[in-house]
Structure 1
Amino acid sequence: MDDLMVLTEEEVRYFLALLSWEPSGEDDEDEDEDDDIQEKSRMPVVPAGQFMFLVLGAKGCGKTSILERFCHGSSAKEVEDDESLDSDEQERAYRHSMKIEDQTYIFNALELPSQHLSNEERLKQAVRITEAAVIVYDVRSRASFGLASEIHNRVNNLVGGERMYGLVLLASNSDCEDEEREVSWAEGNKLARSFNIQCTFAETSAKTGENIDEMFTQLGKEALKLRWLNRQRREQIEQISIDTHQCSIELSPLKRVARWRSWARPWFQRRAAERKTSAPY
């Protein structure tokens, strides 16, 4: 008996209460919800789709800083310290997840160095594998502003009439001092409105993050819309091709001649009747 654990009367009542306790339905639901939340947090998010964007602009215009800010959320000081990256002309690829209307999409961006702009085949390949382009210029550099217009012309010629292509014109370093600015907001907006490809315009700052997330989200929405329009366009072209093929099968050479005669006979008959009435007696 000495080895047995002796419980006081209060402890006995406590353990009996524990043994007789049954959880209520509400407690079960709360526990189930907690389990579901934990389970969902452990499950990987399956993206609804991916975007392929092209980022172009003059050397040192701020392309890299804008992408670093959007994809990595760099702070103002980090972006300022990394501005030297923009002068290091290298081809870079960026990947970032973004949400559009509660759906997760993967953002893929290809930053093309300015020296590749003169390489027609390289630029053509980049446009072919992407569905939209972001053209960047620096508000402190009129030269980069002029190059933005030239870039649009090249992209527009490569896209042609084959498909609808998205376009955004971004002005970087909007937070600069007034005396540093060489290109006004009105000039940038006017340039975007003059483009043959429908273009959205905004001034941005990689240091403050102004308009960066908003513009890329807007570009994603525009890309989804263009996908739908391009799909509709392809379906229409395919239907026209099918109808044309069926028509060519139905109208064999002999049938074409017969149909031509049926169309032309009334005209010849009318001409013959006119000759008879106009013939001198």
Structure 2
Amino acid sequence: MENKEIEIKIGIFGSGGIGKSTITIRFLKDIFVEDYDPTITDIYIKKNDLNDKKIKFIILDTALQEEHYDPFPNYVRETNIFVLIYSITYKESFEEIKYFDERIKRILDIEDKDYPKILIGNKSDLTMKREVSIKEGKELAKKLNCKFIETSAKTGENINQLFYETILLEIERLKTIEEENLNQKKKKKKNKKGKCFLM
């Protein structure tokens, strides 16, 4: 795996106006964009080298749902690593994370299983406007069984850490797939050996 390029398909999910696009642009260009159209869906690509690994980030920045068309299921199916984002200054966006989680599970048809994700509380620089505590964020992450980070697209706080965590999640995901494939092969071999034929 060391010499191969690791391609990470990241989906950014959350309510409108919470800074999904500004987080992505901060990571890609290290700039802060104050105003961004929340109705635009974009796909961004960035290549990085991390130690002996070549990383290719494919970031799907999801938009608000369009009238008469719901692209959400397609967004989910095109994603391997899920970034669930809320704004610490907007309690409703925090409460909607559960809705996004449940809907993702339904689309992936994994009601009782887990999927690779990370919970992000954005706009950590706006402490005076905080509506969601760090404790609440940690408690939700525990329920979702994922890591929790607070970020600020404005200051750049923890933005690189967020995307570093997606690398770890992707490596773990690939490892799980490899182990599952190996177990499947072992079962097939065992079944073949166990068969007997009557002449």
Per the normalisation by structure 1, the TM-score is 0.62
Report if the CA contact (8 A) 1:100-1:221 is conserved. no
**In structure 1, what is the equivalent of residue 39 of structure 2?**
89
| Aligned with 1:202 (options 149, 170, 173) | 149
CA contact (8 A) 2:46 2:58 kept: yes
CA displacement, residues 68-96 of structure 1 (integer Å, 9 cap, x when unaligned): 0001111xxxx2xx3321x4311111111
**What are the residue-to-residue correspondences of 1:96-115 with 2, within 5 Å?**
96-115=46-65
Q: Cα 1:189–1:119, aligned 2, differ >3 Å: closer, same or farther?
A: farther
1:171 lines up with 2:117 in the alignment: no
CA 1:234–1:171: 2 relative to 1, 3 Å: same
| Structure 2 residue matching 1:192: 3-state secondary structure | helix
* Residue 246 (structure 1) shift: 5.1
Distance 1:200 1:91 in 2: 25
Contact 1:54 1:134 in 2 (8 A): yes
- 1:235 and 1:105, CA in 2 relative to 1: closer, same or farther beyond 3 A? same
Matched, 1:221 2:171: no
Measure how far apart 1:220 and its partner are: 0.6
For 2:77, the aligned partner's letter is: R
Structure index of larger Rg: 1
Residue 134 of structure 1 aligns with an amino acid whose one-letter code is: V
Structure 1 residues 124 and 251, CA gap change in structure 2 (3 angstroms): farther
User: What is the one-letter code of the residue matched to 2:196?
Assistant: E
Shift of 1:112: 1.5
How far 1:126 moved relative to its partner? Answer: 2.7
Structure whose residues are more often strand by fraction: 2
Q: Which has the higher contact order (CA 8 A, sep 6+)?
A: 2
- Consecutive unaligned residues of structure 2, counting only runs of 5 or more, are none
Counterpart in the other structure of 1:124: 73
3-state SS of 1:93 partner: strand
Which amino acid letter does the alignment assign opposite residue 83 of structure 1? E
May I ask how many residue pairs the two structures share in their alignment? 195
Distance 1:148 1:119 in 2: 21
1:155 and 2:104 equivalent?
Answer: yes
Q: Which residues of 2 match residues 69-84 of structure 1 at below 5 A?
A: 69-74=26-31, 79=32, 82-84=33-35
Q: Percent of aligned pairs with the same residue?
A: 24
How much has 1:199 moved relative to structure 2? 1.2
Name 1:12's counterpart in structure 2.
none
Q: Distance in 2 between matches of 1:232 and 1:166?
A: 16
Query: C-alpha offsets along residues 10-29 of structure 1, whole Å, 9 cap, x if unaligned?
Result: xxxxxxxxxxxxxxxxxxxx
- Aligned letter for 1:250? C
Normalised TM-score (structure 2): 0.86
- Which of 110, 120, 141 is residue 90 of structure 2 equivalent to? 141
The Cα shift of 1:165 comes to: 3.1
Look up the equivalent residue of 2:18 and give its one-letter code: C
Structure with greater helix percent: 1
Per-residue displacement from partner, 1:207-251 (whole Å, max 9, x unpaired)? 11000101101211221122011111122123324433554x426
Q: CA deviation at 1:119?
A: 6.8
- Change in Cα spacing, 1:185 to 1:93, as seen in structure 2 (3 Å) is same
Q: Is the 8 A contact 1:164 1:230 kept in 2?
A: no
What is the aligned counterpart of 1:243 among 173, 186, 190?
A: 190
Q: Do structure 1's residue 231 and structure 2's residue 178 form an aligned pair? A: yes
**CA shift in 2, pair 1:143/1:223, >3 Å:** same
Cα distance in 2, alignment partners of residues 164 and 105 from structure 1: 24
Pair 1:55–1:221, CA change in 2 (3 A)? same
The alpha-carbon distance between structure 1 residues 191 and 48, as it changes in their structure 2 partners (threshold 3 A), is same
Whole-Å Cα distance in 2 between the matches of residues 106 and 93 of structure 1? 13
Structure 1 unpaired stretches of 5+: 1-45, 255-281
1:57 corresponds to: 14
